[in-house]
Amino acid sequence: MSTILELIDTKTATSVSNVSITNCFSVDYDAYKVILDTIDFASGDLKFRLMNASGVVSSSHYDDAVSLMRSYGVFGENQTVGGTEFGSIGFSDLSNKGGATVIDIYNPFSSSLYTAANWQNAGVSSIGTPVRKGLGLLRVAESHTGINFLSSATILNVRARVYGVKAT
């Protein structure tokens, strides 16, 4: 079985602390692929949260595990239980150098299932390339309609595309 990606929405932003793509999840798909092919900020980690009809879901129900694979040193691991966002989907400590992330999201629109996600990314660092692979579960069975990206640093440039995944 093969799959087809159907573009739902594209969002670009400059000089922001967070950016949202609203109304991108619907009953039409169970799986989504989110591609960030531009991520620039001076120094920090990019994270994401889901959104429902009321706005950003910031409750303490985000669980994730992220494997850090550094080209410049020791590998590491971050685990969070009961966090307020999914962690480290992009890192940079050099402005205007870029990075990229691919996120797969499962069942976000279902009001009877938890939403799961996995991601991988390559960032930019002055001492080498940081690569991350992560997976997460939002332990709230409610309908999510959008995604919000945030950072503790100013996001200088970001471009995100949301695709619905269809099996053929």
Q: Which residue ranges form the domains of the chain, and what is each CATH number?
A: 3-167 (2.60.120)
> What number is the average pLDDT over the span 60-64?
97
Residue 163: C-alpha distances to residues 9, 37, 56, 65, 75 (Å) = 7, 13, 20, 24, 31
Could you tell me the pLDDT band of residue 133, with boundaries at 50, 70 and 90?
very high
Q: Could you tell me what percent of the chain has a pLDDT over 70?
A: 92
Could you tell me the pLDDT band of residue 94, with boundaries at 50, 70 and 90?
low
Prediction pTM value: 0.91
- Tokens describing residue 1: 């079985």
Q: How far apart are CA 48 and CA 32, in angstroms?
A: 15
Tell me: pLDDT of 30 over 70. Answer: yes
Burial classification of residue 167, based on how many CB atoms lie within 10 Å of its CB (0-12 exposed, 13-18 middle, 19 or more buried): exposed
Are the CB atoms for 118 and 86 separated by under 8 Å?
no
Are the CB atoms for 64 and 134 separated by under 8 Å?
yes
